[in-house]
Structure 1
């Protein structure tokens, strides 16, 4: 009898000691990490009202959306000034109510911390190595206010008929490259280079009473080429153009809601040179005209770019991709020297030469509109591909035979870049 009573007393004691802990765990289980549904975390799960055996109220709850990293979340705490509804029992019929704003959750699980707002910004967020690179093939067709190769006067009839023969320009491929450094906050320093070359030609053979003139009068005393006059006379005209820009700039990425933007500015050096040559015969005698002008300048450049992702907007999560609408604008103001030279040859031969050099200002405006696909590799590198329409206007660049007028370059581009 005594032995049975002693064993019963031991069993009753074990039950009394273990039942509160089991009771608390059964009422407030903490769910494990679940990538499809998320994770709940509850503080004060081991507290309860002693006399009534009722679970204490929950002090703080946090839900983290599904993520591969929800099993390693940072601790939580009550927000500032949050109400505390639970009381801790300390024996003797007394209860201790913590002061407002204090945290008394299970210390062994959750130390003082912050509310979880974005668990994706921890170990899985993108950290740049610091390099940015881009290359583009740009397809552009030059256009001028005046791009006359030569004019023809037909004097066979009672009235003279004048016809303009223009240069036939086609699309040319131009390279565009950028290389620089970038930090995790989106601040970038880059060097950019762009270059385009093009040429064109036109020719004709005269019948009776045909006369040819060069595209535009030159600054020489002769004023250009005059060919033709009898059947069999001819004229041949050619143009060459070469231009390039070199930029050194700083830019900063800024995000507004779902818009991703980049703004920047810096230094630009630009050069454009054009040449016009024409030769032929005037009543069988040789004639020629050779004209060239060049501008070299330095100035400032400012630009902005906006991307509007379609669907997935996070460009910094490994293993994801996104498609964006993209547009950009760039403007530069340049100041420099413009040099002009011309040599005209009449039958005889008689040469006339003109050379000038003067200060000149020039501006360049650029617009791009298109689509961009971004791919974030598992290595952390961001690779993007862009297809866009491009428009470039060199205001005051002139044409092959003249310093006056504007040059436009219209077409499209295919770009490939990497941000690593």
Structure 2
């Protein structure tokens, strides 16, 4: 592969996989120059075939990626700009059907300029076919991991790319719904890059080409490592003795040296990969960590608050994580640690209430088991939304409260010197919560 040159479909397959076997190609008869009789279309196709060695803009088949069998869909950008036409749709549909029949994950390696002009609306309607096949595969509980190459624009981005469960991108790839030839003249080109899509929460990570094989293999192993057993409760990493008073519990939870989410996750997992973004314009890397990890040979999903106020994008990312884990049958671990949801004006404009409601709903209806450990502050509904009813434990240096004691005293119009008294009356210590039946005792980290 020549450095700086856009890799072909078969070159990108060889880069990430072993033992590729191409799937049978569906046959469709066209009238001369295609369904619209577009002058010169047959000649354009013939030239594209001679230049690339392909007969369509996608190559579909099965291969081993890091030891996991998957269906690969690789776009050939050299064939009419990787555009989607009716024959492209035939191949894509056949690939997804094969994946469902053989219970294989799907890996689209996307490089496309969008729908094929020479086939008009018939080309555009292929997006409906692709979206349906992707949805059926999602409903079948099979993972889809997209790799965005240069360029990924138009309907290919809006279906195969953005519709995947995990979205990876190559550095510097052009990624956006609007291609370079149709953008407004004053458009900022930096907004249409892989890096910008990750920053906006529309993709999970930028992965260097030389790291793509290993990263894809790790993701496929994690998302196919299904286990119905609940995630074990993590061991408490901080204080071992229980707090003497409510205010003592608060001080312990707020101590700067107390272990936070990243430390818990590092101790819990043998290795992990993160997902990022709420898929509607936001990320919350300072407030919520989400992803999948390997523990004792099986996969556990995680959503962990970091001790900061959680923003709407954080709640939406956690909702996305739980929904994906539920579809794939992967158990979930949640770590609660927040003084509460972000309550600034920007958070309200971003729909903090709706984002919390979505998370409450996702936890409530999840079929996969969810295990929760409160590792620090449990501030109000912004913390409770991440907690599994009936399967929540608490570390000794944590508390869970209807609201922070200072705010509770303010609501009750109490003077400042009664905050500590209020903390005790709220019964927020782990032992209080166990007695009240809010958390479980005896099997968790305090044992």
> Which fold has the larger relative contact order, with Cα–Cα distance below 8 Å and residues 6 or more apart in sequence?
1
Identify the TM-score tier after normalising by the shorter chain: under 0.3
Given the two structures, how large is their TM-score scaled by the length of structure 1? 0.19
Q: Which has the higher helix share?
A: 2
Given the two structures, how large is their TM-score scaled by the length of structure 2? 0.18
